[in-house]
Amino acid sequence: MDYRPLGRTGVQVSPLCLGAMMFGPWGNEDRADATRIIHRALDAGINFIDTADVYSAGVSEEIVGEALRDRRDEVVLATKFFMPMSDDPNHRGGSRRWIMRAVEDSLRRLNTDHIDLYQVHRPSPDTDVEETLGALTDLVRQGKVRYIGSSSYSGSQIVEAQWVSRERNLERFVTEQPPYSILVRGIEEDVLPAIQRHGMGSLTYSPLGGGWLSGRWRKDAASAPTSAARPRARFDMSTPANQRKLDIVEELALLAEQAGISLIELAIAFVINHPGVTSAIVGPRTMEQLESYLPAAELRLPADVLDRIDELVPPGVTLNHDDNSYGAHELTAAARRRG
């Protein structure tokens, strides 16, 4: 497996990053099986693992920590904070108060003395980015965190954070974690160019569009399952946006067949073939799913295949707004009011 530079950190990571969201009650509750999946990924050359404190309320981090007990040094280990961890209004967010508590909880669950990449899971409209960066800078200086990153930041938020880091002499975000797939291409317009301009690495999530590009949900499927990880609105097959997605999935499946690869391989290879993408996060629930993802790491899609994808979903287009991680605060009814 070829490795890629993680921004300008000097760290080399695999083009596939093992996402651990499905390990635990949200997906696979068999800890022994999850450990086997993690070890198989490492044996296949994946050296990058991403999880978060919120995944299965910390169980995902515990499983990853157990699996890496004797293999910690092989892995660039990433986790995230920000999402609510209890009903307490202060057990969430990007405040110094919460970050200092959250990192200790993650270190304990991960059974490690340091986190290689500690990421803010979402931007906060009511927390100054300087507050968040200041706390994260202290963690880097204490040796508990090696690098810091953001997730689902807009282009302007990426630039603002870089500016604050420079002006206040704080650690800067060296990575961004945005959603990206053939069906969700909005980041090509602004986010990926901002990442590239600032020399950041990117670990993109949901390369299969939340399962739409797995081949599981096609026109002959009456409905798709929903879960904590798959909100119902994104899988309502009666909406015009999702009907359009079903049409495109059929065309993509035909394109993959003509190229002699699976739809899953086409989808993942599309993501990691973009020059602004460092690594695509793949989140298997089963060993079979992991095995179906691995071949994509070696694929290079020819120009005619990429051109056909662009015809089906133009660059910069996200087909269903419900798949978007951006604008949650900026586009609320209250925020839109004028005068």
Q: Which residues contact 202 (CB under 8 A, 6 or more apart)?
A: 175, 176, 177, 178, 192, 195, 276, 277, 278, 279
Beta-sheet pairing, 4-5 with 12-13: antiparallel
49, 78 Cβ separation under 8 angstroms: yes
CA 135 from chain center: how many Å?
23
d(CA 331, CA 133): 25
- Total residues found in the chain within this entry: 339
DSSP 3-state assignment of 136?
Answer: helix
Amino acid 238 reads S
Question: What is the full DSSP assignment across 148-196?
Answer: EEEES--HHHHHHHHHHHHHHT---EEEEE-B-BTTB-GGGTTHHHHHH
137, 170 Cβ separation under 8 angstroms: yes
d(CA 219, CA 222): 8
Which residues are part of the catalytic machinery?
Answer: 55
